Amino acid sequence: MKTMTSRERVRAAINHQQPDRVPVDFGSTFITGIHCSVVAELRDYYGLEKRLVKVCEPYQMLGLVEDDLLDAMGVDVVSIFPRYTIFGFPNENWKTWRCPWGQEVLVSEHFKTYENAEGIYIYPKGDTTAPASGHMPKTGYFFDSIIRQVPIDEDNLDPADNLEEFQIMSEEDLQYWRGEADRLRGGDRAVITHLNGTCLGDIALVPAPFLTYPKGIRDVAEWYMATAVNQEYVNEVFARQTEIALKNLELLHGAVGEVLDVVVVCGTDFGTQESSFCSTGTFDHLWLPHYQKMNDWIHEHTQWKTFKHSCGAVEEFVPHFVDAGFDILNPVQCSARGMSEEVLKERHGDRITFWGGGVNTQKTLPFGTPEEVRAEVLRRCEVFSPGGGFVFNTIHNIQARTPIQNVAAMVAALREFNEVK
């Protein structure tokens, strides 16, 4: 088989064709990323130029994997990150910041915090007059959202309150996308991005850490209850959000064209370790029709492939994700109930691409030995890779304090599999 470019390799895999080797993603999204502390260690491990790591996603403190590290790790995917972080400010005019664990990193000039005995607090949009929207404990490695829900009248809810963050993209926004597309146009790697405003009820976004004074249902527990007992309200929010998203998809495609290969449509989780947050019937009623509208537009007007993130035990949801128009499933949590690699590949491997599933980031990668990491990586590749439909990534982000020897063992095992193949 002839050697493919990275872009050809990723596209072949998503189209369920056998690529020349397993394509690889590390760091291209906020759900396939690497903690900034591990990025720094990887740069040292591979003998790369000494430089401070840029925190591209401050919520989870993910580090930017720059081109030299992408090359060293054999990565086939590069990202256009959204213009705004989850805390509502753009990454621009980088400044230094010292993390609680002692690492010095680069953050946006709008990264504004204060500290007290409980830890570090970050302001939405860098607005120090607003209440903080995120909290990192003194011994922590990332931020958690702060619930700032104002009192609500459950009998008189206004869907507009849960739609404040969904706006038609401005000309300034589109200029950003055009510039990023021009930067990557003609490159070798496949290009992925997170779409703006297409996530329906993503629990990381419900508290709106990017808004200064959020209205509507912003408490996580309240939102989950609403999906069960106030479905009319949730459906109205999703319907109006989808209308805005469709307009933005048209604008985005006009700005970037076919530079993009893959778009992350939604990161809403439907699974826990052992069960699910709702039934497949509820999914079909509340989520599927709106996902279908967005995915159908993408497939009818672009060559982009659509990416669905959902952690947990979601094997029974996979046919419904396919019906909703998703091409890709991530993070492929093989340790969750019913999610073994053999079951997933046998039942669904011809209809959806598994982007992830490469190694367990809750157990094997952080707590196993390099030999155990190697064995798990080789096993997952053996099961998932035949016939395409597989892009290697860890199961969600590589977390802080993951031993660098284990991360290196993962990369080496993947290279070993690809060389043998």
DSSP string, 161-221: GGGTT--PPPHHHHHHHHHHHHHHTT-SSEEEEEPSS--SS-TTTTT-TT-SS--SS--HH
- Side chain identity at residue 304, one-letter code: W
Burial class of residue 378, CB neighbours in 10 A (0-12, 13-18, 19+)? middle
d(CA 285, CA 122): 37
CB 242 within 8 A of CB 293: yes
Dihedral pair phi/psi, residue 170, rounded to 5°: -85, 170
Q: Map out the domains of the chain as residue ranges.
A: 6-45+67-83+152-420
Half-sphere exposure of 283 (CA within 13 A, CB side): 22
d(CA 387, CA 97): 46
d(CA 90, CA 173): 11
Per-residue HEC secondary structure of 87-116 comes to CCCECCCCEEEECCCCCEEEECCCCCEEEE
pLDDT of residue 1: 77
Half-sphere exposure of 193 (CA within 13 A, CB side): 23
Share in percent of the chain as helix, strand, coil (round to 5): 40, 15, 45
pLDDT of residue 421: 62
What are the tens digits of pLDDT across the range 83-107?
999 999 999 999 999 999 999 999 9
d(CA 109, CA 102): 20
What is the CATH topology of the domain spanning 6-45+67-83+152-420? Answer: TIM Barrel (3.20.20)
Q: What is the DSSP letter of 51?
A: -
DSSP, collapsed to helix, strand or coil, labels residue 350 as coil
Write out residues in the chain with pLDDT < 70, as ranges.
421
* pTM tops 0.85, yes or no: yes
What are the tens digits of pLDDT across the range 378-412?
999 999 999 999 999 999 999 999 999 999 999 99
In the numeric block, which tokens belong to residue 258? 């076919």
Q: Between β-strands 134-136 and 144-145, what pairing exists: parallel, antiparallel or unpaired?
A: antiparallel
